[in-house]
Structure 1
């Protein structure tokens, strides 16, 4: 009998592959959480890593039970920090105040780079008016 001859052979193969990938995902998440935790001593991090290497399934299970809530809280806190940083960056590069835009347009007009009509159009745009 050939190994891949039936549907169930494929089914079990993909089921076990899914379980293996999920297991690896949990181990990687634990390692990331260990290094994200600023309250945990470096020696304790080393102990967790050693146990993850030599007894990975049991250590992963114990870690998720003992430190799962903190793991979730650190993850949420990091996501919030990323969102705040992203929002701050977007605000800093996307919107200038209308007075800044008008001042820039006035400087360009004074230098002769733009005409009075273009200055008025930029001013109206900065103030949110349609022209």
Structure 2
């Protein structure tokens, strides 16, 4: 017979998982707090002190006061990351030569640069000749 009953083991596991949950929530609050561009430095300092001095009450009040905005801000950051990734993929795909050897994306970009006035006609013809030779 063991001196640590099964119910005590379950309660210990419950407290351990609640403690891990609490740490995850605390880091999530700090992450949201320091990523928010709308808050001033003084507001971030105030929230940080409040959460550090009274952690349970501070986090609960933070979630009540700013919890809805946490999801909205995370959604906006995810959308911005997605748009940046898509733009990167489009730009990278435009620079890749086509399988049949034509550089359609690069040629279109050269034409736009010439039409915009960033390239002279001679520079355009030299770059075009290089692309056509590929």
TM over 0.5: yes
Superposition misfits of 4+ residues, deviation over 6 angstroms: none
Which consecutive unaligned segments of at least 5 residues does structure 1 have? Answer: 109-131
TM-score (norm 2): 0.67
Give 1:1-131 correspondences, 5 Å limit: 2-3=3-4, 6-94=5-93, 96=96, 98=98, 101-103=101-103, 106-108=132-134
| Cα RMSD, aligned residues only | 2.5
1:123 is matched with: none
Local SS of the residue matching 1:28: helix
Distance 1:58 1:12 in 2: 23
The structure with higher relative contact order (CA 8 Å, sep 6+) is: 1
Distance 1:80 1:90 in 2: 15
Instruction: Pick closer, same or farther for the CA change 1:101–1:68 going to 2, 3 Å.
Output: farther
| Alignment: residue pair count | 106
Which consecutive unaligned segments of at least 5 residues does structure 2 have? Answer: 104-129
Instruction: Pick closer, same or farther for the CA change 1:38–1:10 going to 2, 3 Å.
Output: same
